[in-house]
Structure 1
Amino acid sequence: MYPRRINRSVMIALANQAAVVLLGPRQVGKTTLALGIAEQRPSVYLDLERDADRQILIEPDLYLDEQIGRLVILDEVQQMPGLFKSLRGQIDMRRRKGFRSGQFLLLGSASNALLHQSAESLAGRVRYIEMPTLRLDEVGENRLSDLWLRGGFPDSFQADSAQASMAWREDFLRTYLERDIPSLGPRIPATTLRRFWTMLAHAQGGLLNAAALAEGLGVSGQTIGRYLDLLVDLMLVRHLQPWHENVGKRLVKSPKVFVRDSGLVHALLGLGSMESLLGHPVVGGSWEGFCIENLVAAAPTGTEPYFYRTAAGAEIDLVLRLPKDEIWAIEIKRTTSPKVSRGFHLAAEDIKADRKLLVYAGERNVPASDRLRAIPLAAAIDLLRDQ
């Protein structure tokens, strides 16, 4: 068991808000975290994928009225979208009785669908928190290679061998394609979606080219958009948007696309060992995506991530706008040489970056050139944690 940093965020949210929605893909550890919280206070747990637990909530108010004073944990809450109106009434009733915080912890696997269901019913009564996969500052710097290769899903990362880890990820992909996605409504052939997901892995970190993807799959660009939105909603793919505030520059306007978990990238491409990964063309994009997910997870709540690229070639891999409007320009390189191109410095001037970092594969924290600092990933995570 690895202590999850997000546990503190959930506890603070429960202390200040009536309901907390914890979002994340399946198998990321939401239930384990929730049950750990349940051990610390009077609680009741229902898994809404189980028929027996759904039957309990056929008349939700009758059951929930009896649970006043307890934390009610509802897992896979998107399975009962009609429940949100009852929760609103329950929260308001409890407030009148003096129970203002820590009433409900809702766990969900589909972000936008769940947000849409709950936005109107629970407006002003709920806080949303996204739970990432395991991160480097949770497992330790000495496990960096394992975390990058296997990804951050706990069962994959903690598997007894590389072969067992790969087998877990294959099962995970199969389950999503054959059971979970169809259960959300879309009728997409599993083989088609698997090919699409694999195409995204091959192009890890590249600009979205919907026309090329559509041609490769033999579908329309609109269909590609639908497939992509689905995987983004499930928090399995990241749409990294371009920075857009330089009116005088010709900026690239297409988003960059990343499969969010590096272990899934490698499973989709059949890369089961570090040797096969390091010899594959995707190694640079995989490392970049791995670093971006760790850095975004470490950044303060409310941080906005972007990338920057001009038609002239000036580029920044990751731009972070922190909540206090401080702008960080971060270059990511799978190299031990602490050097960046002139295009990075020009781009940092364009966006008026307050801090410039090179996250590289070396072990030293060293000054480079023109106010640039070259640091390992773990040190960059620590810097963001301190903000």
Structure 2
Amino acid sequence: MINRDLTNIVINKLHKGKAIVLIGPRQVGKTTLINALLADKTYLFLDGDDHSVSELLSNANTEQLRSIVGNYKYIFIDEAQRIPNVGLKLKIIVDQIKDVQVIVSGSSAFDINNITQEPLTGRKFEYQLFPVSWNEFEQNVGYVKAHQQLELRMLYGMYPDVINNFGNEYEILKNLVSSYLYKDILALAGIRKSDILDKILQALALQIGSEVSYNEIAQLVGVDKNTVNTYIDLLEKSFVVFRLNSFSKNIRNEIKANKKIYFYDTGVRNMVIGNFNALALRQDKGALWENFMIAERMKHLSYAQSLAKPFFWRTTTQQEVDYIETNADAVSAFEFKWSSTKKAKLPKSFIEAYNPSFRVVNQENFRDFLK
């Protein structure tokens, strides 16, 4: 089992009078993490995917909930978004059954937030669990082995099952993608046309590192711009992709509205386009490295509970910076180069406007970027 950074964070929030909500895509280890931190405790496990459990909880009043909870001090509700009115039931437990710690997991931000947000306002600690982070991976296998597997991790990604089943990565990713990318998302939104989703995903996968034009994707796929936006929104809320907004503050010709879109896991991205060629044979290794690093940085910022905000920067004259973080008044700029021999410098206009710190992130120094 790979130790997860989020475990101690969650442990420190136990019995603080609030529910703990853990969200993230299927197969990243949410259930494993919660079972591990409750391993030495007696707890009630309720599976939201079990229809009888879902029906029992959704219809329970306060006294019935007390009976269900009984003498347990911990309750773990898995896939809570499957249970109608679960937010109201959780509110009752938090407010009325004071000595019980409720822990909830869900694989859809779209569902879990809609269901729990209003009833649990001020009554929950919410955390997102990602595929295994580089720091977690390195701590598990050691510095040398992690370094040896850097290219493999860029190609096949960081899902626990992928990491733990060396030699079977392709088969596991294929099943993972067909399961949660398609079945879950299509069911989530009541969408039947998986071919549209497939085309949009492929378009996004081929554009990592570049600004995404919803109009261009709409023309390519043969749907309208609003449909593209709806699908991308679902992909983001299902933890498949995330958007990076453009940074704009001082310079007249800065691009203000465009976005870049990255995949949370590069193995998923490579499965979408069906390309697991070695880096030496790839035309997209620079974009792949950029996606891998930014996704890893998102994990780090989340687990560190950082207030830093991520952006990219570009002007209408094609001056650009791969990645920017703002924290209070400080601006940090980063360029990603797979080769440690490649140099980069910031545009003069960006330096004059923002006085940023600057670092080139390559395969030799990337660990500093992820700490």
TM value normalised by structure 1:
0.86
Shift of 1:55: 4.1
Secondary structure in structure 2 of the residue aligned to 1:308: strand
Is this contact kept in 2: 1:236–1:259, CA < 8 A? Answer: yes
Shift of 1:325: 4.9
The match for 2:259 among 255, 262, 281 is: 255
| Counterpart Cα distance in 2 of 1:125 and 1:309 | 40
1:30-109 → structure 2 map (5 Å cutoff): 30-60=30-60, 61=62, 62-65=64-67, 66-67=69-70, 70-95=73-98, 99=99, 103-109=101-107
Is this contact kept in 2: 1:146–1:157, CA < 8 A? Answer: no
Secondary structure in structure 1 of the residue aligned to 2:75: strand
Shift of 1:227: 0.7
Secondary structure in structure 2 of the residue aligned to 1:57: helix
- Please state if 1:166 is matched with 2:170: yes
In the TM superposition, what whole-angstrom CA distance separates every residue of 1:242-276 from its partner, at most 9, and x where no partner exists?
A: 11322645334201011221001111122234x2x
Give the structure 2 partner of residue 9 of structure 1. Answer: 9
Report the more deviating stretch, 326-335 or 66-75: 66-75
The runs of at least 4 aligned residues of structure 1 exceeding 4 Å deviation read none
1:157-306 → structure 2 map (5 Å cutoff): 157-161=163-167, 164-246=168-250, 248-273=252-277, 275=278, 277-299=279-301, 300-301=304-305, 302-306=307-311
Is this contact kept in 1: 2:81–2:106, CA < 8 A? Answer: yes
Identity of aligned residues (%): 23
Is this contact kept in 2: 1:17–1:127, CA < 8 A? Answer: no
| Counterpart Cα distance in 2 of 1:336 and 1:190 | 41
In the TM superposition, what whole-angstrom CA distance separates every residue of 1:209-249 from its partner, at most 9, and x where no partner exists?
A: 11111111111011101111010110111111111322645
Shift of 1:341: 2.9
| Counterpart Cα distance in 1 of 2:269 and 2:181 | 15
- Please state if 1:131 is matched with 2:129: yes
- The AA in structure 1 aligned to 2:312 is F
Secondary structure in structure 2 of the residue aligned to 1:238: strand
Structure 1 unpaired stretches of 5+: 364-375, 383-387
The match for 2:358 among 356, 359, 363 is: 356
Shift of 1:203: 1.0
Give the structure 2 partner of residue 366 of structure 1. Answer: none
Shift of 1:17: 4.8
| Counterpart Cα distance in 2 of 1:226 and 1:195 | 14
The CA RMSD measured in Å over matched residues stands at: 2.1
Is this contact kept in 1: 2:87–2:117, CA < 8 A? Answer: no
Is this contact kept in 1: 2:131–2:158, CA < 8 A? Answer: yes
Give the structure 1 partner of residue 141 of structure 2. Answer: none
Greater relative contact order structure (CA < 8 Å, 6+ sep): 2
Change (3 A) 1:92 1:165: same
Is this contact kept in 2: 1:177–1:194, CA < 8 A? Answer: no
